[in-house]
Amino acid sequence: MKRMLGVTTVLALGLLATQAQAVKKGDPMRGQELSATCVACHGPDGNSPVPEFPRIAGQYADYMVQAMKAYKTGERNNPIMAGIVASLSERDMEDLAAFFSQQKGDLYNLRLK
């Protein structure tokens, strides 16, 4: 019985590790290259100085990917962002989100609290 528990624990930990890796998708280096088109509005590192453009520095990557997909499908209706995401692939979105989520900003600081 003890051995069974041990095997189950190892399997469970393995599963958790796989899931943790699956969540960490996106290449921030490539995202930084792609971000040239975003910075005019969202600021160089996603810390937009103007309230019209949301700050995305330190935002959760998953959230940003969902937001970008929603602009693409029209579920989230914004003509500016719809035009921006039209040419982005899913991988582009994941890489961009990985980059901006790693930038320091108010949202990032909130996560540390």
- 84 counts as binding ligand HEC under rule CB under 6 A: yes
Binding mask 9-48 for ligand HEC (x = CB under 6 A): ----------------------------xx-xxx------
Cα–Cα distance between 51 and 43 in angstroms, integer?
A: 11
With beta carbons less than 8 A apart as the criterion, state whether 59 and 107 touch: yes
Q: Please pick, from the candidates 8, 9, 19, 78, the single residue that binds ligand HEC as defined by CB under 6 A.
A: 78
Size of the residue set binding ligand HEC (CB under 6 A)? 18
Cα–Cα distance between 56 and 20 in angstroms, integer?
A: 23
- 54 counts as binding ligand HEC under rule CB under 6 A: yes
Closer CB to ligand HEC, 30 or 81, in the complex: 81
Cα–Cα distance between 71 and 94 in angstroms, integer?
A: 15
With beta carbons less than 8 A apart as the criterion, state whether 85 and 96 touch: no
Which amino acid makes up residue 45? D
List of residues contacting ligand HEC (CB under 6 A): 37-38, 40-42, 52-54, 56, 64, 67-68, 76, 78, 80-81, 84, 96
